[in-house]
Amino acid sequence: LHHNAVLAMPWSLCLLWASCVLAVPLSNPKPKLLLISFDGFRWNYDQDVDTPNLDQMAQDGVKAQYVTPPYISITSPAHFTLLTGRYVENHGVIHNMWFNTTSGMKKPYYQTQHVNEWWDNGTVPIWITAQRQGLKAGSVHFPGTASSYQGEVAMKQEVEPPHYNYKNETAWQENSDKVMSWFRDEDLDFVSLYFGEPDVTGHKYGPDSPQRRETVKQVDRAVGYIRHSAERHGLTDRLNIIITADHGMSTVLRKGQVEEIILSKIPGFSFKDLSFHLVDYGPSGMLLPKPGKLEKVYNALKGAHPHLHVYKKEEMPERLHFSKNDRILPIVLFADLGYLINGYFPVQINKGEHGFDNQEMDMKPFFRAVGPAFQKNLEVGPFETVNIYPLMCHILGIQPEVNDGHLNATRHLLVTSQTRSGELT
């Protein structure tokens, strides 16, 4: 009897130990998070198109009425806000274009992706924060992916080649499956995935065009594909998916409809008084007057056109959070909805544009979220996209960097569950 009791003892301990070990992953699988951006997907793009997959995602998860992007409502600045939870003046990626006021050089969007110091200037994206705290992160085509931050990069990263076709649906599916295999086969915890549509189509044809509606159908198919891919890869019980965008889109008003804003035609204004300017880039612009010319330039432009807003950078409205950065030039211009800022003469041909005041409804993107961390069949009111970062950090169980967002703005989206550290939320 004594001998049997001794033999039985370790076996029962083994069972106890095994049940403890097995219970952890079964009851609380490590949460994973996929952040997806469909560039330029306006908050109401699903209202004039049949979108069964987005509708299903809203039933299975959370839908916000809309979200508010930062100003300036263009691609790189708004995406870096998603990745850092900081307003544009604080993260410093103030434009899609890198520029040098001394040489007068400007680089377009794609080339700017590869200018490291434009992105790496004190604020680190969530990939780096996650990796520093023991997680694995990756990114596909997301703005900022091509850069390193304090010498660190996302563990898995793919940067799109130049002249990339952002509309190729087969590539969308391949990228979706690739990301799911990173989660499953390489145990990544966080991935950001970027699609360049419906922005390209919205620019070319306008937000009210049949072409834009067709592209929204393609986005909806992609959402269905992504969710099925997660299921195929056995990730449904642990993968949280957030889908949003950087900004919306608005129809451009042209000559014949309106009096266009053409700076060269404004009395008292001269480009000779500037040492550098960034105009002809949608509804926003920045000017660097020559020494002693600031008041002259400012006074000539202020009130010169009823739809042109002119500010000294330190007098920019506080709500825009677009003044406290050395990269922002001394005079900031932005136009009312539908108007563009032209320099010498109109050169822009887009039928749709963004970059307007982020209070404009046309600038608001959409937001959907689904997964074990999120409530089901919940529609919530609007919040700022700066708040998505602390939400993502919370889901991943990581300590956020200093940021301008608040978890309280999104906490009601979540179910009461356990985070990685085991604390009740």
Residues carrying an active site annotation: 75
Which two three-digit tokens encode residue 202?
Answer: 């919205």
Handedness of CA 154, 160, 166, 168 (dihedral sign): negative
Pair type for strands 67-68 and 383-384:
parallel
Q: What is the DSSP letter of 31?
A: P
Rounded to whole angstroms, the maximal C-alpha distance in the chain is: 107
Task: Compute the distance between CA of residue 249 and CA of residue 354 in angstroms, rounded to an integer.
Answer: 5
CB 244 within 8 A of CB 365: yes
Task: Compute the distance between CA of residue 208 and CA of residue 232 in angstroms, rounded to an integer.
Answer: 36
* Residues 6 or more apart whose Cβ sits within 8 Å of residue 384: 67, 68, 69, 70, 405, 409
Radius of gyration of the chain (CA): 24
Which residue type is seen at 310?
A: V
**Quick one: the chain helix, strand, coil %, rounded to 5?**
35, 20, 45
